[in-house]
Amino acid sequence: MRISLVGDVAPRRADPASLFADTGAVLRAADLCFGQMECPVSSRGTQAPQARLAMRTDPGVPAVLRAAGFDVMSVAGNHVLDFGVPALEDTLRLLPAAGIATCGAGPNLAAARQPAWLEHHGRRVAVLAYSSILPAGYAADAARPGCAPMRAHTVYEQVEPDQPGMLPRIHTFADRADLAALEADVRAARARADTVLVSLHWGLHFVRASVADYQREVAAAAIRAGATAVVGHHPHLLKGVEFIAGAPVFYSLGNFAIEQPAAFDAAIAEHDSFRHLQTLAAGWQPRGRYQAPPETRHTVIAHLDLTGGALRVVLQPCRIDDDSVPRRLARDDPAHAEWLAYLRAITAEAGLNAVYAEQPDGLVTCAAALTAG
């Protein structure tokens, strides 16, 4: 069985199918295809005042996503309630109506924590989804709609107490109750499934390479509980891969088929929150059609090839063009070498253990580095 994984998806154009013009054939060829639905699907609702960039897309988009190859999508993220409960309700209705299973959000916490169930040739797959990026009120609770939370806490350590004003060291750690709930969910799913994927909306947006402490803590806990792979997104940048007990952790698959910010708010460049984002990516000045930092052009389709009890990870390098369309990179394209060099560099910078091997067809295999002894 081949499971294909991509990052953030949020079409908002007259012809949303054009976003998958080059990659749709690859997505459809998978036995199961997963993506992160970055915005609600609705024409209803009122914009939430706490939304930094309020996002939503047209009710006709789920049919396009299904035609592009998607079988299951996480809806756990920091835009899930940008247009309130009515828009979330529409999202949870319209995606399944188009044939796309959803996970990570619901009318209450119990529903949000339920996995999406899929089956291929008798092999059962469970997909769980959570978000660590939580504007006020976006997390579900016992009686409130929202997404399944995997909260984290931040503490600041003064490294040099005798040197006032020096930058502190930043530590993060997982919320104990949320982590215990995630572990219980994974164990319960593993008891009924052959394969368990855990999707997490998390991490440091627009910050090159870095992986927060809590991410590694949560990933290790999910794998100990029985996850086959951990699939991350939100930073809008491709980040490195780590193997824990043989299971891959994709800390961020990056953007995939997502519009530029101005497609959702034409005045976004004037917002203080957008100006703050510019400070996170060195030298970034939005220009022309492509407003995001240049590094966000790097993206990937990650394939999990499962044969019996064996798992092989294969990466399809892709680049996002000025029109926001992801396109596959051929081996002789100079952008292919740039992509691979970038992935190797950020993996090393984050201290992760994945190694990458280029194949004759331009695909890249990914495995854990061998350790001495």
Q: How many domains does the chain have?
A: 1
Q: Is residue 336 part of a domain?
A: no
* Phi, psi angle pair for 88, to nearest 5°: -65, -45
Tell me if 213 is assigned to some domain.
Answer: yes
What would the pLDDT profile of 10-68 be if each residue is shown by its tens digit? 999 999 999 999 999 999 999 999 999 999 999 999 999 999 899 999 999 999 999 99
CB half-sphere exposure, 334, CA atoms < 13 A: 0
One-letter identity of residue 210? S
- Percent above pLDDT 90 for the chain: 88
Cα angle 276, 278, 283 (rounded to 5 degrees) comes to 145
134 close to 48: Cβ distance less than 8 angstroms: no
Q: Report if residue 372 sits inside a domain.
A: no
Determine the pLDDT at residue 290: 87
Distance between CA atoms of 10 and 56, rounded to whole angstroms? 8
Residue with more model confidence, 308 or 326: 326
Q: What mean pLDDT is predicted for residues 313-330?
A: 97
Q: What is the pTM of this model?
A: 0.96
Phi, then psi, of 210 in degrees rounded to 5: -60, 140
User: Nearest CA to 256 among 29, 35, 71, 101?
Assistant: 35
Asked if residue 59 is part of any domain, the answer here is yes
Q: How many residues does the chain have?
A: 373
Give Cα 283 distance to the centre of its chain: 25
| Pairing mode, strands 298-307 and 152-157 | unpaired
Task: With a cut of 70, say whether residue 372 has pLDDT above it.
Answer: no
Does the pLDDT at position 344 exceed 70?
Answer: yes
| Residue 157 pLDDT exceeds 60 | yes
**Does the pLDDT value for residue 373 go beyond 60?**
no
SS3 182: helix
The residues that bridge with 367 in the sheet, in sequence order, are 355
Q: Is the pLDDT of residue 274 over 80?
A: no
Beta bridge pairs of residue 2 = 305
266 domain-assigned: yes
Question: Distance (Å, rounded) from C-alpha 114 to C-alpha 102?
Answer: 10
Q: What percent of the chain has pLDDT over 70?
A: 99
Bigger pLDDT: 89 vs 261: 89
Give the whole-angstrom CA distance, residue 285 versus residue 292.
Answer: 8
Q: How far apart are CA 158 and CA 146, in angstroms?
A: 36
Average pLDDT rounded to a whole number, residues 103-114: 98
Residue 335: inside a domain: no
What angle do the packed helices 61-68 and 84-97 form, to 10 degrees? Answer: 40
**Span 60-71, pLDDT tens digits:** 999 999 999 999
Average pLDDT score, the chain: 95
Written as six digits, the tokens of 165 are 């004003």
Domain that holds residue 218: 3-296
- The residue-averaged pLDDT of 168-177 equals 97
174 belongs to a structural domain: yes
pLDDT at 20: 98
Name 349's Cβ contacts closer than 8 Å, sequence gap at least 6: 208, 209, 210, 240
In a domain, 363, yes or no: no
* Residue of 56, 51, 63 whose CA lies nearest to 37: 56
pLDDT at 135 over 70: yes
Helix (H) or strand (E) holding 300: strand 298-307
Q: What CATH number corresponds to the domain at position 217?
A: 3.60.21.10
Question: How do beta strands 2-10 and 32-37 pair?
Answer: parallel
Q: Which of 277, 132, 103 is nearest to 202 (CA)?
A: 132
